[in-house]
Structure 1
């Protein structure tokens, strides 16, 4: 994976919170040490090699190999890490776990496509190729989506209930990336308080909080 990938950040956050050792191999089809390929950067590669494609035929990041168990898709990896290494992330309550998975699925389908638009249009594309109309449309849709999250957090400390679960990791990383962008937005105090709680986690501080991970272009 790569540190600037929000999906890789999810896995690194969980690994850090669980104090699990790991080795990170830099891999990407679009990003490298000099930035995004749209600006002439050379990607880290790896993802298009036969060895990698044998593990993950999608050629995407992240992929893990945990003592022979190979997994791709960051939410599946989070579930495995919680089941195998960090059961506290599952909360021990079936209803809370179901809500956690609900928000993990929601963030992928509803929010991440909008974040991708914002990252490309605000950070990674050359300035002469950016489209302000796309930014504004994504901003409006993000506010609508996050209104749902603000309402959810009105009566609970975390997305699935009052305990931190795997549901907070993808959701928290995505919302933090949104907050890094210099865009007009109303106050959402419940989300702000929740983000402050997430900032108490080692994995968040190490792998999500650094602004350069979100503004790398």
Structure 2
């Protein structure tokens, strides 16, 4: 039986699950769900959201009404980072963290850091340059977001000058969120905006076969 996912391909948090499943080669069934975006773009531009997230059945699974949510053999789980760790531990601990508790913890640290330090400014940057109608965009918020991202990428750059991948020299599930973020940043700011270290990392992670699951620029730049 395949894993069921509720989410939207333009959601970076949903993309974490899609990329993990691509790494694992697991079949899945995706149900489009979102309170903010639909097939034609963001609700702020007058578009209709995919919905589903406000239905009683969905709220019984995920009381937050957020995406993604998965159903795996009767087990329901929400929160993208928790889903990453679940998939890693259940399906391939050796591939996802070398079956090593130290590498697991290091990867956990970085996915939490990404959630706190990269997601908010990148979300605001996309919102105030792409997703909101032009008359609702705030250039000051966009500029502050770019500055915050610059500082955050400096931390990532330092780490990647010490280890080949984000949690260690070997690939881990911690690289899944970072792959999505560096790809989105390259699309937003241009590959030339990447430092040599980040460019090296981007070239490596984008060469993985699983990268095709999140490669499409429309998944990251949809308005």
TM-score tier by shorter-chain length is over 0.9
Cα offsets for 1:64-122 (capped at 9, x unmatched)? 00001100001110111111112210222222211111100000011100011011111
1:8 maps to 2:21: no
Gaps of 5+ in 1: none
Q: CA deviation at 1:184?
A: 10
Match in the other structure for 2:199: 192
Q: How does 1:126-137 map to 2 (within 5 A)?
A: 126-137=133-144
Match in the other structure for 1:34: 40
Cα offsets for 1:141-166 (capped at 9, x unmatched)? 11111100000001211001111111
Cα distance in 2 for partners of 1:126, 1:8 equals 24
Q: How does 1:77-96 map to 2 (within 5 A)?
A: 77-87=83-93, 88-96=95-103
- State the secondary structure of the residue aligned to 2:28: coil
Tell me which stretches of 4 or more aligned residues in structure 1 moved more than 4 Å: 183-187
1:55 maps to 2:58: no
Which 10-residue stretch deviates more, 175-184 or 20-29? 175-184
- Pick aligned residue for 1:67 from 73, 96, 99: 73
Paired residues in the alignment total 216
Match in the other structure for 2:210: 203
TM-score by length of 2: 0.93
Gaps of 5+ in 2: 1-6
Q: CA deviation at 1:214?
A: 0.8
- State the secondary structure of the residue aligned to 1:95: helix
Residues 52, 90 of structure 1: alpha-carbon distance in 2 compared, 3 angstrom cutoff = same
| Structure with larger RCO (C-alpha < 8 A, sep 6+) | 1
Cα distance in 2 for partners of 1:81, 1:30 equals 26
Name the one with the larger strand percent.
2
TM-score by length of 1: 0.96
Match in the other structure for 1:101: 108
Match in the other structure for 2:219: 213
Alpha-carbon contact 1:62-1:72 (below 8 Å) kept: yes
Alignment RMSD, CA only?
1.4
